Structure 1
């Protein structure tokens, strides 16, 4: 930036020569994968369509000067920014500040925004002492405070070289989102910064001229330009209640439910929802469960067959896991029992469960036992019973 260059030219010949050999004699070629960022003004002239097309591949974004104080508006800004928009080159903007007091600083900041409302970020280039009243720190703080309500969360940076910042804006700089540090040297400065302007003699193949260039070091380009130009949509909040739940259950034979990749009805996953399997594909299978969800008062379980995740299914599609073991012996049926015999254990996964005999028909009769079964979590059993060698069915142990 112009004033900064003059100050450096006034430095000793030895330092100037070092700077020249470090940065000037190597016309470097760059591309968008590199970390160089150009700051450009009317000194680079009006861009052409072809230049901007190449520039898009050369840098992740550029920074354009909009004004020199409020009273001078860069002659090439409107033309150049229209081409940047046309070819999708992201850009931030800066004002070469000339404010003389806090009120003047507010006006300069507001003018910058109104002249470049679509910029990705904004910069206060304060490198020349012009403040006559109100204090330099106060004026620099007024600049950022005036701009902040206008930019809708976009970044606001402070630019200067370190000695000037320490003398005139050491307090105000912390109110900015980052410090763009000017230091024409080969080694990166230790002073904290988000962007380092390291040379005014970097060759741009796109523009076919030497330009000011800065390096992205501590921040990537998305930090400055926000990645996609459109704001990312806010993901819906989960409408389900989730908790750890460990169990084994069995898929019912008659279920029409499906296994899904998410609990059905949770708005957070509505757009990604898809069916993995039909429930009938795994009818009669034991499934391992590790999570429970309640969505719209419906319970869902996350299920695995062995170690394979098959998905979420509503609880009504599952029956209790039942352990079967062989047994021997006889038992006498109670008088007038209210328990009956069934072809399968009631509420098991089988689809054709039905009563096969009244328990009262076998009051005080001895039945022979061949198997017993217990639902997970229960202490009592169902028994498979025979009478005079003929299968009757399954009955609950309280019938005896």
Structure 2
């Protein structure tokens, strides 16, 4: 092995070992992904050990160095696959064990008479298979779908798999035609691809975990923990963007659960929480995916409906009222507790071009619904402005 090749192998080994160390350190800050990071670190160490043995294979008896190095490197790729597949709740342990056993049998049977063929071509097949499965798992894993780093993971593992597939299937043809030149070129490409893999893969794995952690914190900061709807801060932020981009109809529905305080007083706060969750479930079932759903505070909820005029929003609001009135939750004592909700409707107009103004109009209509007997939906009308103070006092 030339000094240049030895230097590149050494770079790959040092990079993998350093990446394993950084990954283990990252586990302290990423408790939710400690197992994933631990498996990744083990994979990097296996790849590094395999590279060390492969570098020194000419100094080991027979084909033992080539076989051992190949099997450990293959094991490293399989450990990385196990880490990525584990994010989606899948395991490849049986397949990995079968592939390793098959490759070990191939080395034992044909390693001596066909050592070069086994090292150059046959050993590339399982590596290609494992890398391509890793790319596929990254593509279909639900936890990774919203993460931009996933695309880099798919590219790096997919490219690596395609490269090794070409080494197994196309390289024999090229070597037969161009001889040693094709073999030297393939070795250089494979080696530099190994450098790319050893550098980029650990960076991507850390980026995935950190991106997921940041998304989790954002979700916690913008989501109501009880109902899993958006919170007030999120609603105002997203609502402002929705209003700014509105090019047509837009409506806002405000809801307040009727007599909610008496439900808490009579059946306890645990039952009150069940009622809130039940109403949130009704909202999700009735409202389309393009709407903004939020718990504004306490028993107050709001929906922003893009592309809906007053008539369409009123139908949705009435469906919410009917669906919630027909639902019930069971208290700790086994009593079925049902509740109703009052709602107010406001449409986007010149006088209300921001979230606060639009919500204020819907709240006035909501308070009017309270004064008119509850369990009803009222639209925001100009006449409501004159009676809003009386309605608010009555609702209080």
Q: Same fold (TM over 0.5)?
A: no
Query: Of Structure 1 and Structure 2, which has the larger fraction of its residues in helix?
Result: 2
- Return the index of the structure with the highest Cα Rg: 1
Q: TM-score, normalised by structure 2?
A: 0.28
- State the structure with bigger RCO (CA 8 A, min sep 6), 1 or 2: 2
Query: Of Structure 1 and Structure 2, which has the larger fraction of its residues in strand?
Result: 1
